[in-house]
Structure 1
């Protein structure tokens, strides 16, 4: 063997020894790392995992499809229609965060929200179309039936905390723990405690908007909505004919020729609202919440974009109304109607509160012009719906453009004294301003996809 071959063998031997030594170091390092990790308590690891979720938009981490064999159950949903819609959406987004299907929740047909034993339950599919919801929200959230359950085992109870110590971070920590692999075998997680409307909010406004778009009323209620709108337009045709005013031609997709426009005003002057709004004004030290009948009429009459004459539908809770003169005091060109004068009171009276409110919501959301109160959940969700429709038509700015779904807040005056133009800020990080009201509104909607 020559000297060159001997040198080559030496180098090969060194390389092998080096490779073996590196492998040994790698195995030893893995062993040490596992030992160190196992020395930490499980709770410490969970805290570390949880801390990495805080401050991150929860929905952005949910790319997987919603599982159909694991479920979330929530308490009966209560309060007014739009608080119930928010609670329903929040429950859906909670189920989405946990990668679970929301078991079809029970709504509340009545408004006796304090006396829980007096609540009249109403199934989700008695108000909203179950199939259309899952079809339109496919891949985002899902609602399931109790008949979908397989093993019928006892649900795993998760108690929602309450009070000042139950912070948004603690709430998200709890939800994150329920995402742990150890929960994968559990068919149903049942959340008990607080009403879903009062849960902490971890999701942006556009996630809620997506769910609200999927909430389509059942055919029976849609027929009632059509009756009311038909009555409004019949009156509008008569008013237009008597005034010899030209009827508006179609200018936007979906509008019929000779369209008969109407305005809807959510006139919040009921006795329960006036008590509530005065307390909120005192607490927030502002005077832009309560509005009298006279102030509402004056600010509506100063909206410059209105083509007169126009029928004005007044959406008001008749049973709580102390002032029965809401039809008086309107200027020429504004023709006000409420349920009784419109001869549709019987349409409402045969239904429980929740459905009555749902009919009014649809009538207001489909109006050519809507005027409401920015501290009312009802008005705020109507404007959100109309903002989404405007965005779907390519409009994110209604400041100087006739978008077809223009909205105004009569509790906030523009410089000329009219009601302020209003679009929902769709880039808002939460639904707080809609849930509790705001006097910071504009006619521009930010939309960050």
Structure 2
């Protein structure tokens, strides 16, 4: 260091006062040291801990803003898998609006939502990959761990409004007040009370879709989903070769020369759904919500362009299913299977409801053709993800006869007795129709 200082003194012909000259040399030394240290990971990590970089949602084209890391904490997220995914995304977008990092929320492993003691909390990183989420959503939204907190200072607690008088405008005004200096100085803003799924929606569908793309299953659950899909395709291979072995040439490893397609049907005929959908039809004066088992089977069988025979995977909530005849009555070219008949029940029964639903979601989402109910959140989010995949592939409309990632709503009749083609309106200004269902499905 002394040698470096001496060389700098020789290089600089300084006629300034000694004190001023020394300050100048010290500044040069700091700049040199910073340039030497910056490539090291540890130094970058220190910088990330000290500041947070995010472009605000209100002005995405403005220069990037640097600020000290601050956090948003939300209540435990509850209800079904896809309501929890929407609640998580809504919490993320709220944190983005406040230019804060969302502290990793607690999900709910069970389906119970009224009995608080039965919610079985499960951390986000037990289902979704924390690191991949932050990597894929980098610069848009960010999750943090409670270990990231710098101190134990008391958070600012906010009670979300509720009731008919609590309008969307009042909710947005409340969020804007949180960005004022006095409140914004708190390291943590903790929202208490109201469940995030019930918060007012201020963000377009494309923002939700971007967050959903960042939700990657942890390896353990991803591998389970792959096992289920492999079993479906294995049965499909056998059925095709039994029909005409000369048309398919199996290689030594058991694969086929062409991909083996399968259909996935989110068959909503469980007792809780039938009660809900009938009440919903009465309130909304819409008769295209409930569908019987017979109507679903008939409409699925009328889909044209399918390669027969083909496996039909039936995604149902087994514990709520009263009708054990869902495998009977299908046309011969359609081969229906659910978890138990498929021989994968051992995979599902190891896990709580939330993870079982996450496996089913992946099996349905990756099917060649998906058929669901447009008033089901589960079905709606699957179609949203499939629509996003089509857009990424450059396909702007799947409403024609091309069956690549085709989706249908069996509760709405289409041409020739088939279900109606379904594609999410990605230009929608809110997630309202996806959260609560619609019979306006673009196609």
TM-score by length of 1: 0.82
CA offsets 1:121-180 (integer angstroms, 9 cap, x no match)? 000000000000000000000000000000221110011010001000000000000011
Q: Distance in 2 between the 1:226 and 1:413 partners?
A: 32
> 1:308 Cα shift?
1.3
1:151 maps to 151
2:270 maps to 270
Give the CA RMSD over aligned residues: 1.8
Kept after mapping to 2: 8 A contact 1:390/1:403: no
Residues 282 and 223 of structure 1, relative CA distance in 2, 3 Å threshold: same
- Aligned residue for 2:417, secondary structure, equals coil
1:184 maps to 184
- Aligned residue for 2:409, secondary structure, equals strand
1:171 maps to 171
Residues 389 and 280 of structure 1, relative CA distance in 2, 3 Å threshold: same
Runs of 4+ aligned structure 1 residues displaced above 6 Å come to none
Kept after mapping to 1: 8 A contact 2:267/2:316: yes
Aligned residues: 381
- Aligned residue for 1:82, secondary structure, equals helix
Unaligned regions of 5+ residues in structure 1, if any? 1-57, 249-254, 444-449
- Aligned residue for 2:174, secondary structure, equals helix
- Aligned residue for 2:281, secondary structure, equals helix
CA offsets 1:42-61 (integer angstroms, 9 cap, x no match)? xxxxxxxxxxxxxxxx9343
Matched ranges for 1:52-91 at <5 A: 59-62=57-60, 64=64, 69-91=69-91
Kept after mapping to 2: 8 A contact 1:314/1:337: yes
- Aligned residue for 1:412, secondary structure, equals strand
1:418 maps to 418
Kept after mapping to 2: 8 A contact 1:91/1:102: yes
Unaligned regions of 5+ residues in structure 2, if any? 1-55, 250-254
- Aligned residue for 1:231, secondary structure, equals helix
CA offsets 1:334-364 (integer angstroms, 9 cap, x no match)? 0000001100001000100000000000000
Q: Distance in 2 between the 1:294 and 1:131 partners?
A: 45
Kept after mapping to 2: 8 A contact 1:247/1:259: no
> 1:401 Cα shift?
4.6
Q: Distance in 2 between the 1:234 and 1:415 partners?
A: 32
Q: Distance in 1 between the 2:67 and 2:415 partners?
A: 52
1:118 maps to 118
Residues 190 and 257 of structure 1, relative CA distance in 2, 3 Å threshold: farther
> 1:183 Cα shift?
2.8
TM-score by length of 2: 0.83
Kept after mapping to 2: 8 A contact 1:288/1:412: yes
Residues 411 and 66 of structure 1, relative CA distance in 2, 3 Å threshold: farther
Kept after mapping to 2: 8 A contact 1:67/1:100: no
Q: Distance in 2 between the 1:220 and 1:364 partners?
A: 18
Q: Distance in 2 between the 1:278 and 1:420 partners?
A: 21
1:333 maps to 333
